[in-house]
Each structure stands twice: as structure tokens, then as C-alpha cells.
Amino acid sequence: MKQLIGITLGKYAPLHKGHELVIRTAISEMDQVIVIVYNASDVTKIPTEIRANWVRQLFPSAQVIIAEDGPQDTGYTDEIKLKQETYLKQLLNGYDIHSFYSSEPYGDHVSKALNSRNRMVDLSRSNYPISASMIRDNVRDYRYMVSEIVYSDIKPRIAFVGGPSTGKSTIALVCANELQGDHCREYGRDYWMHHQRDHRLSMWDLEQIASGHLELEDTAAQGTGDRLFVDTTALTTLAYAYYYFGKASQALIDTFTKFLYRYSLYILCAPDIPFEDTWDRSGPGSRETLQQICLDLLHEYKLKYYQIGGTLSERVASVKIIMEENKL
């Protein structure tokens, strides 16, 4: 007996309950379901592979195809429709598509181009009155419209960075307690206690810190808070690599750049508080140097950041203003 193949597509930026309904409906009706995930660099920093993994995790029986080179134009002009149809026919060459699933008007012309049934699912959005753009504009209020694995990736993350003894750990914890957030402590501090040798770490150690911190963040992001306040990131680890070795390994750079999308913004803590010799005993001279390296990296990678300073209460007040300005 001939297998029934269904297809659906989208940017899934982010994947929400409405998308899930479409995919779930297709799986319930078809023998095989193909989900095409398009590049969405025009609307989100989240890589296509991450968004594709959401689909894979929630719907393991679906076949996921990543369309990095898919057409970005949207609309219903003849030219745009032709681009979309031509691309899909080439991408799906060899597949006999029985049904095209969507909740969008484009289902009509795409299904005709694929010589398939136009299977509309909740076109009126009565089941889930939501769109991806609504979630992007207000992640916290629409948290209930996405699965937890998705929310952990799109949850607002505020990263505190800077040189040693600039108050990162203190401000991150206080903000989490006062501003309905979760807290991620600095993994490097834990690692240092067990792996340092003569108060120094190797490049390999720094790579382990960067990846270990990301795992710690993933765990912290599962909390019930509206935001995640992060005590340092791989940016700080990268700064230490340049400080100690004058260079960074490609593995460390890759870990840093791969997950830049996660952070809503960076907050650079000013070195305007009394210096306390940190756990690495790098001394007061390192603070200004590492601070400058962090600042250089923020500029080099064009990362959105704010600088805060002053007393703890002044810093917290500044963070509140910054979050209000950025709707976080």
C-alpha cells in the first residue's frame, strides 16, 4: 500500500503551540511527515539548527529538512509565489506529497504546485490565537504558548560580564532575587577549585569552563522565573584566554560564537568598586586589562551591552531601567 506523505514548513521563530497543532495533525493523518525549517535570520538570532532541533525533540517521528537557502521573500505576488513553489519542487524532487499542511493562506498555491491536498489547520487561529512575531515581541507574556524546551532557548537572558572583582556575581544574584528571575552562578569558579594548577588553567581547561557553563545555564533556564540572570559567560572565559595566552583556541571561539543568540543583552560591570583578590589571585593589575579585553570583544562581535557602576543599589536601579527600555 502506498505511503501517505504529508509536509509542512515554517521558520518556527519560535516554534509555538499553533505550529505544534499543525505538525501533530499531520502526524495523526499521514504515514510520513516532512517538516521543512527555513532560515530566519531576518527575524531572529536563533540558528536554524536550533529551531530544527525543537521540532526533532517534540516530534521524533517527523523527518526534518533544513532549508538554509530557502526564499526569504513573503507575500502573494506572482513573483514571490513562483520563487517559493520552484524552490519546494526542487527540494522535494522524488517525493510524492499527498497533503500540504498549514494554517496560512499560502497553503492554497503551494499545495497546487506540489499537486497535493491543501490541508488547512486552524486557519482562524481559534485554538491558539498566537503568532511567532507576538512571542518575539513579548516572550514573558506568551510563555504558555511555547513548550519548555523552546522557552529555555528564548527565555530572556541577561549576562553580566567584566574583569575580576567588578561585582558580577553579586549583582546577578541580587537581580534574580529582586526581579522575578532565575540565577546561573559562575561555573568557572567551581571548576577552578578542583582543577587549577599553581593558580593557572590551561587552554583546555578554559574550553571546559565555557562548555560547562552553558550546561549550567541550561539547567538554570528550566526554573520558573521570567528571566535568567547569568554570572559571566564564555565572553569572560575568552577574555582570560587572551589575557593568559595572547590567543584563544578555535574550540573556545566556536563555543562562544555558537551561543551568542542566547543573550538578550550584556551588562558590563564597571571596575569602580574596591578590588578583592579573586579566586585566581590574578592581582589588581589584571582587572583593568581584562575589563578592556571584555569591552573589545563586545565591540568586535557587535554585541548589545550596557555599562553599570556605582553602589549595589545604584547598579540594581540601572538594571531595572535597562530591562524596562528593552521590554525584558
For the chain, domain boundaries? 5-148, 155-325
Cα–Cα distance, 163 to 118 (Å, whole number) = 57
Tell me the three cell numbers of residue 255. Answer: 563555543
pLDDT, tens only, 80-115: 999 999 999 999 998 999 999 999 999 999 999 999
What is the pLDDT, as a whole number, of residue 161? 97
What is the pLDDT, as a whole number, of residue 193? 80
Cα–Cα distance, 38 to 35 (Å, whole number) = 10
* Bridge partners (DSSP) listed for residue 210: none
CATH superfamily of this structure's domain 155-325: P-loop containing nucleotide triphosphate hydrolases (3.40.50.300)
CA distance to 9, 147, 157, 179, 256, per residue, from 140 (Å): 26, 13, 12, 13, 26
Amino acid letter, residue 263? Y
CATH node for 5-148: 3.40.50.620
Cα–Cα distance, 39 to 48 (Å, whole number) = 6
Max intra-chain CA distance, the chain? 76
Quote the mean pLDDT of the chain: 92
pLDDT, tens only, 4-14: 999 999 999 99
Identical fold, 5-148 and 155-325: yes
pLDDT for residue 1 is more than 80: no
pLDDT, tens only, 143-160: 999 998 999 899 999 999
pLDDT for residue 199 is more than 80: no
Q: What mean pLDDT do residues 37-63 have?
A: 96
* C-alpha triplet 275, 280, 283: angle, nearest 5°: 40
